[in-house]
Structures are given as structure tokens and as C-alpha cells.
């Protein structure tokens, strides 16, 4: 009798322990994600949204963004900056520099190699039983008439990411599409920045909020 009691309480304790342990979410990306942990950053706002829903203790949020990173940089530091932290969920948000650096330093990423490294990254993360969510790169310029210099290329790399999500059965946060839809409605003067970004690429406060809002439903259904 006594033994049963002990076992039962142990069971409850374990359950309780399991329930209490927050799920760890790593946001893995470039300078946009690096800025995401700032006071108005998208990771910070993501946390505040969880708090408003009373879910603050259920999740632990970790920013793992480094400025200038391309897909192969993420691949190279995956072990140290993501896997070693044993996350439950990883958002991968990359692609802007793979496209942009073609023009600004001649060091972008070929589309076929972008796909190959991204698939290799997915393989390694999935092998660790981590829930993986892929994000498309939102914008390099906010003009809504398809005349930002890198629009075609960003669309191409976004398609690669959509295909990877589909092929690997992964959730997709299609920020590229969301930004395009938003700008087509909310950028009547066809400005190249200042709607959701400060400088065509990096998020302003509203942009950070917008990204957090698009990511949240992929975590809490």
C-alpha cells in the first residue's frame, strides 16, 4: 500500500516536472534575428505575445542570429549554436544575405548550393528529433510593383525554401509572401523602405511585431 503511494506520487512529480519544463525554441538566422532579441525585436515581441496568452512559462526563447550569415554559415555553426542547446523547436530564417551579397560583395550563394546546404541542415536537425520551421526571406526593398533589384532572386530562393518545406514535411512561415501581401495593401506610395523595414532589409518595430505574429500560430495552434 505504502509502496503504491510512493510510486503514484513519483508519477505525479514526474508529470509535473514534464509539464513544467518549458519548450526551448531557437531562432536561427542572420542580422535580422540577431536584432530580434532587442527590446522591440521579433523574438522579444514573440515572448510578450506568449506572456499575454499566459504561456510565458511554457517556452524558453533563444536567439541565435549572427549578422551577415548565409545558409552555409548556419550549417557550419549548427552544432555549437543550436544542437548543443537541445532545443525542441527551431525556426530557420535565412536567405537575405545569400541573395544580397551577390550585389554588395560578390559573395552570395548559388541557388543549387543554397538548396544543398539547406537540405543538409534539415537532415541534421531532423536527426535530432527537433521540430523545424522554415521561414522565407521577407524583403530586400519594399516596393510593391516587383521592381526592387533583388525581387526576382528573392522569389527564386523563397520557392526553393517552400519546396524544401514541402519535400521534408516541415511547417513553413512564408514571410516573403506575407510581406508582399502587406506592402501591396499598405504601401500606397510604393516606398522602398519604412513600411516594415528601416533600410529595405532590417525590421522596424512594426516589422518585428509582424514577424512575431506570423510565427506565433505555428507554435500555438
**Which residues of the shown chain bind a second copy in the complex (CB under 8 A)?**
72-73, 75-76, 101-110, 113, 116-117, 120, 141, 145-156, 159
Q: Is 130 exposed, middle or buried (0-12, 13-18, 19+ CB in 10 A)?
A: middle
Beta bridge partners of 171: 133
Cell readout for 90 is: 527551431
- Nearer to a second copy among residue 56 and residue 77 (C-beta): 77
Nearest to 72 by CA among 35, 36, 97, 91: 97
Q: Considering the complex, what minimum distance in angstroms separates the CB of residue 148 from a second copy?
A: 5
151: left (phi over 0), alpha (psi -120 to 50) or beta: alpha
Separation CA 17–CA 37 (nearest Å): 28
Q: Considering the complex, what minimum distance in angstroms separates the CB of residue 206 from a second copy?
A: 23
Separation CA 22–CA 7 (nearest Å): 24
Q: Do 168 and 160 contact (CB within 8 A), yes or no?
A: no
- Nearer to a second copy among residue 89 and residue 98 (C-beta): 98
Q: Considering the complex, what minimum distance in angstroms separates the CB of residue 157 from a second copy?
A: 9
Q: Considering the complex, what minimum distance in angstroms separates the CB of residue 135 from a second copy?
A: 18
Separation CA 108–CA 97 (nearest Å): 7
Q: Considering the complex, what minimum distance in angstroms separates the CB of residue 44 from a second copy?
A: 29
Q: Considering the complex, what minimum distance in angstroms separates the CB of residue 218 from a second copy?
A: 24
- Nearer to a second copy among residue 76 and residue 171 (C-beta): 76
Helix (H) or strand (E) holding 157: helix 151-167
Q: Do 28 and 92 contact (CB within 8 A), yes or no?
A: yes
Amino acid at each position: 500500500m505504502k509502496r503504491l503511494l510512493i510510486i503514484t506520487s513519483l508519477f505525479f512529480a514526474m508529470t509535473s516536472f514534464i509539464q513544467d519544463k518549458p519548450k526551448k525554441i531557437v531562432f536561427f538566422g542572420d542580422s535580422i534575428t540577431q536584432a530580434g532579441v532587442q527590446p522591440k525585436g521579433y523574438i522579444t515581441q514573440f515572448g510578450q505575445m506568449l506572456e499575454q496568452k499566459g504561456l510565458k512559462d511554457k517556452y524558453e526563447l533563444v536567439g541565435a542570429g549572427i549578422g551577415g550569415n548565409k545558409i552555409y554559415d548556419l550549417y557550419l555553426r549548427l552544432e555549437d549554436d543550436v544542437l548543443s542547446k537541445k532545443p525542441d523547436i527551431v525556426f530557420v530564417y535565412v536567405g537575405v544575405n545569400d541573395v544580397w551579397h551577390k550585389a554588395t560583395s560578390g559573395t552570395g550563394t548559388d541557388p543549387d548550393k543554397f538548396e544543398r546546404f539547406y537540405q543538409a541542415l534539415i537532415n541534421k536537425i531532423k536527426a535530432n528529433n527537433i521540430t523545424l520551421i522554415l521561414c522565407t526571406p521577407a524583403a530586400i526593398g519594399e516596393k510593391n510593383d516587383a521592381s526592387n533589384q533583388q525581387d526576382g532572386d528573392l522569389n527564386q530562393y523563397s520557392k526553393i525554401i517552400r519546396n524544401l518545406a514541402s519535400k521534408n514535411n516541415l511547417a513553413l512561415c512564408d514571410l516573403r509572401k506575407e510581406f508582399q501581401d502587406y506592402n501591396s495593401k499598405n504601401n500606397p506610395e510604393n516606398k522602398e523602405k519604412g513600411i516594415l523595414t528601416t533600410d529595405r532589409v532590417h525590421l522596424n518595430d512594426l516589422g518585428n511585431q509582424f514577424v512575431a505574429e506570423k510565427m506565433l500560430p505555428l507554435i500555438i495552434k
